[in-house]
Amino acid sequence: MNIFGKLLPTTIDFITHRSFSMTIPLYDLQKVSRVHVVDNSKLALDGNVYKRMPRIIHCYKKNNNLTRTRLIAGLGDKVLLAIKGQMKKAIIVGCRQRIRKPNVPQFDKNNVVLIDDDGNPIGTRILAPIPAFFRTRGDLAKIAAIATTFV
Amino acid sequence: TVKLNFWHPLEELLRCSHVHERSLSDLATDLTGENISSVDLPLIDDKFNYIMKIQYNSLHSCPRCRLQVSEKENELCVRCFTYSQKCIFKNKIEQQQKMALSFSTANKFLLNNQQILRSVLISSIRYKQRGHIPDNLVEHHRQSPLGKLKAGAAVGAFPPKNDTDKELRSTPHDFKYVFPDFLPNPLPYLRDRILERLERRDMFRRRQQIDIPEFYVGSVLAVTSADPYAPNRRHRFVGICLQRERHGLKHQFTLRNIVDGLGVEIIYELYNPTITKIEVLKLERRLDDNLAYLRDAPPEYCTFPFDMEPVKLPPGAGVPLNTIQVPITSIHWQYKWERHDLKGVLLPPLPRSVRKAAKRYAEPWRQWDIMRQYRTEIHDDEKAEIYEDIEKHKEDLAQYRIDSKENVKITRARPKSGARKAIFNDSQQSNTSTTQ
């Protein structure tokens, strides 16, 4: 059990007159969540510098008991992004969500790799470490082929 | 509007139109039907049961609490009025009337029917907990006298027959820090003693195959686990141990490291059979039990190169304590670090409201809370029992290693596959290194 989990997070420069209750931040990746693209493709490099951060528009997830509005995506899930005014599919490569399962890594940033409709990555290199279980899954093998470091 | 006046019943009795001015002692003798219209004498023991129903012209008591004064008849005092306002009744008059009637009747009902109400409460609790089988029923067949005999005073049964046969081994005081995975859950309703024993046996078996070293929160570990899809068939991760959780076979620890500028955390189960090697690259302790604040610290405090060489301590030295004070520099904190009694942390200057709130939530009495300490720790008798098993396991381990070394090569019908060979070699290396 997490001993810090009872109390809520804070920032140094916060508003002191809050009178409403908050939940613990869940770090789930769902619609409108901002994301960091980790490719070396042109779209990725431009999109990270654009006025708006790349955001998730839709999560492709099957066999989900949650409603369509609350679809949550995790490591290895396909996702629709809005980058630089365009729509592009991507795969989540690093997730801040605390899964708390053994042997599954948790990252400090939400990383994402851009992808074609066929599932081929657009870029030629991935600039961040990738979880090792990407090698096991067939649909993620193309990303694992480009990756440099595995965690 | 209602005035706040305290009503002294005896004084008012004296001023009654029916009663002449007399002393209290005279009053007691002259309490007849002629003098006073209707009086229920207050019980001296129950100070709060003033059931005086005196009728007189000048002052009236609040019909609900009968302590405060009200100007008109059947008007509530301020406190009762505000209480009545909060109720869900629509009409205020109805409300007051109902309160005047219901409170007295409710009070009587409570006084007369305490036992019935108690049974009603218990049945309601049982209904809420329906489907839950109490521990007594489940554990009935497990509470055998044999188990109680071995444990002794902790389990609360008859004492052992032969005291001289049992050699009392004194458990070292730091045993709970060295082997936290063997200690059971301090909450007694979450414990299963048979499962604990079975798990302990499995843990010893696993420790025969692999050398699980002693490590603490704050020490740097390197964990190699079997990965069939990797070129080396192995997956190695180096990191600082942030926390150790769970009891028994499920004991877990999290490692944190910053890889290529990205912070990564992985949870490992200590007794997972796919783990081939656990090395302690740097054995040390920190001032806290949980180093989750390292996520909000600058990255220098979490980076450890994967090809880090193990730091060797001089033989016989204790585990060094690193009294480093980690500064928290990030703007967004995951938790409110100022509210927890963290000693290894250097907090930035905080606004006044935050400091005030931290004081409000602070529990400075915790260091003297003996009952809390008792509740979170395990009884010494149980610890002794566990330590006996560990000592026995150590003896067995030494014997097992001697046997495995002297054994002739085991001939196999088929050659080992690449993956299994690497894992076997790993475990052999670790075993041989420790014996040397």
Interchain CB contact of A15 with B (< 8 Å) = no
Which comes out higher in pLDDT, residue A47 or B21? A47
Which comes out higher in pLDDT, residue B412 or B136? B136
Which comes out higher in pLDDT, residue B424 or B76? B76
User: What's the confidence (pLDDT) of residue A115?
Assistant: 95
Query: Best residue in B262, B347, B372 to probe A by mutation, most A CBs within 10 Å?
Result: B262
Query: Does residue B352 carry a pLDDT above 70?
Result: yes
Phi, psi of A77 (to 5 degrees): -95, 150
Which range is most confident: B41-55, B138-152, B264-278?
B264-278
> Long-range contacts: A140-144, Cβ < 8 Å, 24+?
A140/A76, A140/A91, A143/A91, A143/A93, A143/A113, A143/A115
Residue A87: inside a domain: yes
Categorize the per-residue pLDDT at B152 as very low, low, confident or very high, splitting at 50, 70 and 90.
very low
Measured between beta carbons, which residues in chain A are less than 8 angstroms from residue B235?
Answer: 132, 150
Q: CB–CB of B184/B247 below 8 Å?
A: yes
Residue A3: inside a domain: no
Residue A10: inside a domain: no
Q: What is the CATH number of the domain that holds A57?
A: 2.40.150.20
Mean pLDDT (chain A, rounded): 84
Query: Does residue A120 carry a pLDDT above 80?
Result: yes
Residue A60: inside a domain: yes
Query: Does residue B130 carry a pLDDT above 90?
Result: no
Q: Work out how many CB contacts closer than 8 A connect A with B.
A: 94
Q: What percent of chain B has pLDDT over 90?
A: 33
Measured between beta carbons, which residues in chain B are less than 8 angstroms from residue A150?
Answer: 230, 235
User: What's the confidence (pLDDT) of residue A103?
Assistant: 93
Q: What percent of chain B has pLDDT over 70?
A: 62
Q: Which domain holds residue A52?
A: 33-146
Residue of chain A whose Cα is closest to the Cα of B328: A12
Residue A67: inside a domain: yes
Interchain CB contact of B304 with A (< 8 Å) = no
Cβ–Cβ below 8 Å for A4 and B266: no
Question: What pLDDT, in 10s, does the model give residues B4-40?
Answer: 555 555 555 555 544 444 444 455 555 554 444 444 4
Query: Does residue B115 carry a pLDDT above 80?
Result: no
ipTM value greater than 0.95: no
Cβ–Cβ below 8 Å for A129 and B351: no
Categorize the per-residue pLDDT at B50 as very low, low, confident or very high, splitting at 50, 70 and 90.
very low
Mean pLDDT to the nearest integer, B221-249: 93
Measured between beta carbons, which residues in chain A are less than 8 angstroms from residue B340?
Answer: 3-4, 7
Residue A97: inside a domain: yes
User: What's the confidence (pLDDT) of residue A1?
Assistant: 42
Residue A16: inside a domain: no
User: What's the confidence (pLDDT) of residue B429?
Assistant: 64
Query: Does residue B136 carry a pLDDT above 90?
Result: no
Among B77-86, B222-231, B243-252, B256-265, the range scoring the smallest mean pLDDT is B77-86
Cα atoms found within 13 Å of the Cα of residue B292, Cβ hemisphere only: 17
Among A45-59, B156-170, B338-352, B407-421, the range scoring the smallest mean pLDDT is B156-170
Q: CB–CB of A61/A53 below 8 Å?
A: no
Query: Does residue B431 carry a pLDDT above 70?
Result: no
Mean pLDDT to the nearest integer, A135-145: 92
Q: CB–CB of A143/A111 below 8 Å?
A: no
Number of structural domains (chain A) is: 1
Interchain CB contact of B237 with A (< 8 Å) = yes
Interchain CB contact of B348 with A (< 8 Å) = yes
Categorize the per-residue pLDDT at B423 as very low, low, confident or very high, splitting at 50, 70 and 90.
low
Categorize the per-residue pLDDT at A10 as very low, low, confident or very high, splitting at 50, 70 and 90.
very low
Residue A2: inside a domain: no
Residue of chain B whose Cα is closest to the Cα of A107: B264
Of A3, A7, A11, the CB nearest to B290: A3
For residue B262, the one-letter residue type is: L
d(CA B243, CA A3): 11
Cβ–Cβ below 8 Å for A129 and B252: no
User: What's the confidence (pLDDT) of residue B37?
Assistant: 44
Mean pLDDT (chain B, rounded): 75
User: What's the confidence (pLDDT) of residue B52?
Assistant: 40
Phi, psi of A135 (to 5 degrees): -75, -25
d(CA B208, CA B247): 19
Question: What pLDDT, in 10s, does the model give residues B63-110?
Answer: 777 777 776 777 777 777 777 666 644 566 566 666 666 666 767 767
User: What's the confidence (pLDDT) of residue B201?
Assistant: 93
